[in-house]
Chains A and B, each alone.
Chain A
Amino acid sequence: AQRVTQPEKLLSVFKGAPVELKCNYSYSGSPELFWYVQYSRQRLQLLLRHISRESIKGFTADLNKGETSFHLKKPFAQEEDSAMYYCARFNYGQNFVFGPGTRLSVLP
């Protein structure tokens, strides 16, 4: 079965510190990987998708097929980055599978 794991339920860092949110996925075919962000009481929004190779709000994520990982990184966390982050995978013809999410708390 397709799986996405995010080992940390909660991650707290101080403002200005680097942050890495971990994501691993089960290997199956050629999935697309995404990061979605949910700010307090809002809808989930797309943050990054691996095929676009963009940096959004200072965040980057590299797909490592050998380690089946898609970790999200930012060199200097900001307080406004505090949110829930979900890693997700998608295979065409199938559904989106989301990880359990990591709550990032950036402390002043």
Chain B
Amino acid sequence: DAGVIQSPRHEVTEMGQEVTLRCKPISGHDYLFWYRQTMMRGLELLIYFNNNVPIDDSGMPEDRFSAKMPNASFSTLKIQPSEPRDSAVYFCASSFGGELFFGEGSRLTVL
């Protein structure tokens, strides 16, 4: 398995634009997590899914953020409209049996 795959690896956009980050979890994993990492706040859990169902989205900063998992092999995190304070590295991770595997992250810069 190629591991958790995220795209894009880097995204630079202007304030107000829509951003969509994508994640392909490891096949067979039943949990999927979206994290945001910044220097100031460290690693923050945004939302996680179990068997494609959102379980806890209390970490989603505000209504501008939304996440979907239409099937077991794909998830998206969308920011609309984006703001400079959304600049961060966004990690997707999947899990089965208690071990978490991370993707390489998507580095977002909002100008």
Contacts and interface: CB of A to CB of B under 8 A. Distances in A.
Interface of A: 32, 34, 36, 42-46, 49, 86, 88, 90, 92, 95-98, 100-101
9 contacts: A36-B100, A42-B104, A45-B102, A90-B100, A96-B95, A98-B42, A98-B43, A98-B45, A100-B43
B14 interface: no
Interface string B27-48: 0000101010000001101001
Nearest to A96: B100
A10 B35 CA distance: 22
Interface residues of B, number: 20
B100 A101 contact: no
Interface of B: 31, 33, 35, 42-43, 45, 48, 55-56, 91, 93, 95, 98-105
Contact of B55 (A43, A90, A95): A95
A101 B101 CA distance: 17
A49 B55 CA distance: 24
B111 to A, nearest CB: 21
Contacts of A34: 99-100
A43 B98 contact: no
A2 B105 CA distance: 25
Closest 5 CB pairs of A and B: A43-B102, A44-B102, A100-B42, A98-B43, A43-B104
B56 to A, nearest CB: 6
Contacts of B43: 44, 86, 98, 100-101
Contacts of A32: 98
Nearest to B42: A100
A43 B45 contact: no
B100 to A, nearest CB: 5
Contacts of B42: 98, 100-101
